[in-house]
Amino acid sequence: MSASSENLDLFTPVFKHFRHLSDKDCLIQAYSITTHPTLFQQCPLNISIDVDSSLGLQPISTWSLYSCKFSNGLYFLSNPFTLNGQRQWINRCLNNYARQTRTSVGDNSDNQNLTRIRWATLGYHYDWTNKIYKQDDHTNIPDELVQLSQTIAQVISSNTNCPMIYPEAVIINYYHLNSTLCAHTDHSEYDALTKPLLSISFGNSAIFLIGGQTKTECQPSPMLLHSGDIIIMTGTSRLCFHAIPRILSDPFLNDILYKNIDDDNDKVCWSYIHDKRININLRQVYT
């Protein structure tokens, strides 16, 4: 291999490919259980724990967990939420987690800037300029988010070799249909790189790319994420480059989540989410 081909960025061309692909071809080419079943290995789940009904989860016996053969240590939990549960989490992301001072648009305590928000942070806040967390810059992580991540991590860790997680930092990403998230690694979590990162999707679908620990190591794999799906990055995948090149308008979102809803608050949530996607990701930072 020549020096120049060793240094070739294999990530960006795939990012650009999905950025410009038709929705139909994205759905064909991206990996999902239905289109690429051989790339996913189902993990049997043997656990019974009491799950608080406020978490909006289906009974654990109905969950489907897969390890992703295309990225070592990456797990995919196919939407474990009830429909009402998904609506509740979307509502929390809009009316609670975005209504505060630590957002991409600054103070949004009155929620006037909701449609412009790109991210909000909870727990240890991320310093985006210096790419660090600051120990003295911390606000509370709501109990329901701690409970949700602990419940999911407990189910996964008791059936795989994925470690438990105690969330200390949460980033909520708010995407418009034309938003992207550039290739990056999450490596600011000091001693916690061995701890999994949980990433939860709501609203419209997305193409999630996951590559190697450098952009030159391998071509990234494209994964399709729908509303309610969860990915868990642990082991090698925890250190890998990943990105969102594309949000895909989900034609069934209304039928799935909001059809025949007459609650006024649900109508407000629908008017936001019908052309957006929300991602909640939770990390352990210091412990």
Residue 186, annotated ligand binder?
yes
Residue type, 65: L
Pick the piece of the chain touching ligand SIN (CB under 6 A) from 23-31, 55-63, 201-209, 260-268: 201-209
Interacting residues of 18 by C-beta distance below 8 A, sequence separation 6+: 26, 29, 30, 207, 209, 222, 245, 246
| Least distance in angstroms from the C-beta of 212 to ligand SIN | 16
Stretch that binds ligand SIN, among 105-113, 140-148, 159-167, 198-206 (CB under 6 A): 198-206
State which of residues 226, 281, 282, 283 lies at the interface with ligand SIN (CB under 6 A). 281
Angle (CA) 199-129-230 rounded to 5° is 5
Helices (H), the chain: 3-6, 11-20, 23-29, 83-92, 143-157, 253, 264-273
**263 has binding-site annotation:** no
Distance CA 266, CA 268 (A): 5
Distances in Å between the Cα of 18 and the Cα atoms of 30, 221, 228 are: 9, 11, 22
User: From CA 22, how far away is CA 167, in angstroms rounded?
Assistant: 37
| CA max distance for the chain | 63
Q: Mask of contacts with ligand SIN, 216-245, x by CB under 6 A? A: --------------------------x-x-
Tell me the residue number closest to ligand SIN, measured at CB: 279
The piece of 87-95, 107-115, 145-153, 199-207 that touches ligand SIN (CB under 6 A) is: 199-207
Q: Show contacts with ligand SIN in window 82-111 (CB under 6 A).
A: none
Q: 32 or 201: whose CB is closer to ligand SIN?
A: 201
**Is 184 one of the annotated binding-site residues?**
yes
> Taking CB under 6 A as the rule, does residue 14 contact ligand SIN?
no
CB 280 within 8 A of CB 146: no
- Give the per-residue contact string, 154-183, with ligand SIN (x = CB under 6 A; - = no): -------------------x-------x--
Q: Is 279 in the site for ligand SIN (CB under 6 A)?
A: yes
E strands in 139-275: 169-176, 181-184, 197-203, 205-210, 221-225, 230-233, 242-248
Positions that interact with ligand SIN (CB under 6 A): 173, 181, 199, 201, 206, 208, 242, 244, 279, 281
Q: Residues within the annotated binding site for Fe cation? A: 184, 186, 242
Binding residues: 184, 186, 242
